[in-house]
């Protein structure tokens, strides 16, 4: 397929997000993948495709100029970079406004899918020409269950078993006739709420979207495990999946007296009780112990030096916020959190009903998955001040691993 012989095709690369689920401390699209960034590898497929007339990349504002310079360095004369938006659909809409006026077909691709093939791009374009909109997708092989209950629950009841032959896992590039995409994005503006992809908006607008065969190799890099698997493809003989990496371990400990007239806050969860922990901040011993554990693992200081109790700025401070600041310091030092294990020692109250909420709060602050956070409650068998209900303590162990990445020219580490 060539740009001259067929329709004029523009490709939009959605790269405006921050990729926090990966926990790298950097936008994942700028991480190294075999000597190039993930973003560069995703752009390259379209920049070298003979059927693509232009590539428009939606980026965080600070990355537009550096990436344009990098594109010129790589000889991609028909690649342009524009500012993205707060959400994926905002980034795509802004990139669409910059599409050349004679483009009749528009392909939208996630920057986090660097292994898309030219053949898949061809098939998706042909599907859009034939049907108006085409989405590559893989059929589900396992039995599919829809769960009830709240998402935060450790276990959830099955609400229904879905017919797997009708269920597909969508990929990108999603390709549209220009008029179809314009109507889909208009639907997005009307809808207001987030949409997971443009096909969803087209469907809601009553437009026909067809599924075409996707590719198993067209993986999306979302988690640290995905990144390891992706990097394995560039290292012959190295097995894919979770690999041993350089790992550092830190420990944290905190103890506070229980007093009347204070709320009891543990990992950001306010627990009904007749006493609370005494301290300069909110005295959240879980956050304090975890903060010291991650800082200690990276040799990046400790909570007493960063947030001293002699400083009035930290009076009654939210310790989850202090933990988030410590995570930023960790990322700046070139590390991300691997996992955290916490033990809270309290004779009363019983902590079991609150442990899952504590895990969720810690995971959000640490920018990792809740599956990588363990929180346990123990009594002190009625011995010493903790056993008598006069105090509570917390032990924490954390692992941190280095984040290896390559940024576009001119892009700086956050301070």
pLDDT of residue 150: 83
Q: How confident is the model at residue 24 (pLDDT cuts 50, 70, 90)?
A: low
pLDDT digits (tens, 9 = 90+) for 291-339: 999 999 988 778 888 788 787 877 888 899 899 888 887 876 678 899 9
392 shares its domain with 254: yes
Domain end (from 202, 232, 262): 232
Judge if 274 and 388 occupy the same domain: yes
The β-bridge partners of 264 are 271
Residues 298 and 360 in one domain: yes
- What percentage of the chain carries pLDDT values higher than 90? 56
Binning pLDDT at 50, 70 and 90, where does residue 20 land?
A: low
Which range in 6-10, 82-86, 162-166, 171-175 is most confidently predicted, on average pLDDT?
Answer: 171-175
Share of the chain above pLDDT 70, in %: 90
- Provide the strand spans (E) within 49-104: 54-59, 79-83
DSSP reduced 3-state for 307: coil
Is the same domain home to 269 and 308? Answer: yes
Confirm whether 413 is domain-assigned.
no
The reported pLDDT for the residue numbered 25 is 61
Looking at the domain assignment, is residue 407 inside a domain? no
**Residue 89 and residue 128 in one domain:** yes
| Closest alpha carbon to 341 in 377, 305, 298 | 377
Please, what's the b/e burial string for 259-277 (b: 16 or more CB within 10 A of its CB; e: otherwise)? eeebebbbbbbebeeebbb
Q: Is residue 269 part of a domain?
A: yes
Domain membership flag for residue 133: yes
Residue 8, pLDDT above cutoff 50: yes
Average pLDDT over residues 193-213: 90
Residue 405 is predicted with a pLDDT of 32
Residues 216 and 320 in one domain: no
CA distances from 57 to 45, 109, 260, 274 (A): 13, 10, 57, 56
- For residue 54, the number of C-alpha atoms closer than 13 Å in the C-beta half-sphere is 17
Is residue 151 in a domain? no
- Specify if 354 maps to a domain: yes
Residue 387's domain is classified under what CATH number? 3.30.1330.50
The CATH code of the domain that includes 97 is 3.90.550.10
**Stretch among 14-28, 66-80, 231-245, 401-415 having the lowest mean pLDDT:** 401-415
Mean pLDDT to the nearest integer, 384-413: 71
pLDDT at 111 over 50: yes
Which H, E and C letters describe 116-152, residue by residue? CCHHHHHHHHHHHHHHCEEEEEEECCCCEEEECCCCC
Distance CA 58, CA 79 (A): 11
Same structural domain, 225 and 255:
no
Same domain, 107 and 49: yes
Residues 343 and 299 in one domain: yes
Residues 219 and 302 occupy one common structural domain: no
Label residues 387-403 b or e (16+ Cβ within 10 Å = b). eebebbbbbbbbbbbeb
Q: 124 is in which domain, residue-wise?
A: 9-146+163-232
| Residue 19: predicted pLDDT | 57
Residue range 115-173, pLDDT digits in tens: 998 889 999 999 999 999 999 999 988 898 989 888 777 788 999 999 888 899 999 99
Among the ranges given (60-69, 145-154, 375-384), the one the predictor scored with the smallest mean pLDDT: 145-154
Residues 226 and 258 in one domain: no
User: How do residues 342-378 score in pLDDT, each as one tens digit?
Assistant: 999 998 999 999 999 999 999 999 988 889 999 999 9
Quickly list DSSP for 357-412: HHHHHHHHHHTS-GGGEEEEEE--TT-HHHHTTSEEEEEEEEEEEE----PPTT--
Question: What is the arithmetic mean of pLDDT over 19-46?
Answer: 81
User: Considering the chain, what is the average pLDDT of its residues?
Assistant: 86
User: Does the predicted model carry a pTM greater than 0.75?
Assistant: no
| Phi, psi at 185, each rounded to 5° | -70, -30
Residue 97 lies in a domain: yes
pLDDT given at position 235:
63
Q: pLDDT confidence of 89, banded at 50, 70, 90?
A: confident
Task: Identify whether residues 300 and 375 lie together within a single domain.
Answer: yes
Which of 232, 259, 285 marks a domain boundary? 232
Domain final residue pick, 204, 232, 260: 232
Give the tens place of pLDDT for each residue, 163-201: 888 899 999 999 999 999 999 999 888 877 778 899 999
pLDDT value at residue 386: 83
**φ, ψ of residue 172 in degrees (nearest 5):** -130, 160
pLDDT of 48 strictly over 90:
no
**With the C-alpha atoms ordered 17, 21, 24, 29, is the resulting torsion angle positive or negative?**
negative
Averaged pLDDT for residues 238-262: 76
Residue 414 maps to a domain? no
Structural domain count, the chain = 2
């Amino acid at each position: 397929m060539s740009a001259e012989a067929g329709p004029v095709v523009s490709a939009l690369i959605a790269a405006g997000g921050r990729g926090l689920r990966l926990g790298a401390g950097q936008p994942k699209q700028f991480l190294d993948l075999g000597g190039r960034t993930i973003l560069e590898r995703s752009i390259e497929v379209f920049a070298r495709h003979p059927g693509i007339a232009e590539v428009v990349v939606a980026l965080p504002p600070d990355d537009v100029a550096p990436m344009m310079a990098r594109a010129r360095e790589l000889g991609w004369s028909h690649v342009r970079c524009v500012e993205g938006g707060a959400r994926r659909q905002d980034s795509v809409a802004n990139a669409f406004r910059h599409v050349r006026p004679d483009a009749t077909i528009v392909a939208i691709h996630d920057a986090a899918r660097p292994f898309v093939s030219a053949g898949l791009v061809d098939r998706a374009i042909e599907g859009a020409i034939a049907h108006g909109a085409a989405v590559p997708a893989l059929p589900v092989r396992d039995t599919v269950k829809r769960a009830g209950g709240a998402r935060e629950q450790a276990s959830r009841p099955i609400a229904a078993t879905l017919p797997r032959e009708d269920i597909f896992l969508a990929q990108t590039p999603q390709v549209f006739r220009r008029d179809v995409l314009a109507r889909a994005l208009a639907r997005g503006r009307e809808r207001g709420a987030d949409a997971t992809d443009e096909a969803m908006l087209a469907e809601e607008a009553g437009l026909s979207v067809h599924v075409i065969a996707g590719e198993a190799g067209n993986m999306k890099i979302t988690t640290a495990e995905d990144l390891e698997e992706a990097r394995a493809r560039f290292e012959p003989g190295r097995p894919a999946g979770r690999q041993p990496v350089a790992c550092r371990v830190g420990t944290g400990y905190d103890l506070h007296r229980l007093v009347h007239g204070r709320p009891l806050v543990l990992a950001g969860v306010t627990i009904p009780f007749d006493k609370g922990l005494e301290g300069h901040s909110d005295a959240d011993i879980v956050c304090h112990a975890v903060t010291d554990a991650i800082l200690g693992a990276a040799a990046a200081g400790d909570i007493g030096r960063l947030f001293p109790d002699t400083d009035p700025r930290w009076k009654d401070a939210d310790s989850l916020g202090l933990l988030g600041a410590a995570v930023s310091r960790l990322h700046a030092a070139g590390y991300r959190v691997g996992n955290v294990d916490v033990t809270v020692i309290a004779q009363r109250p019983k902590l079991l009903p609150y442990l899952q909420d504590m895990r969720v709060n810690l995971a959000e602050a640490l920018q990792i998955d809740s599956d990588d956070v363990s929180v346990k409650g123990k009594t002190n068998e009625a011995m010493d001040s903790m056993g008598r209900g006069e105090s509570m303590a917390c032990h924490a162990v954390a692992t941190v691993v280095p984040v290896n990445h390559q940024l576009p020219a001119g892009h700086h580490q956050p301070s």
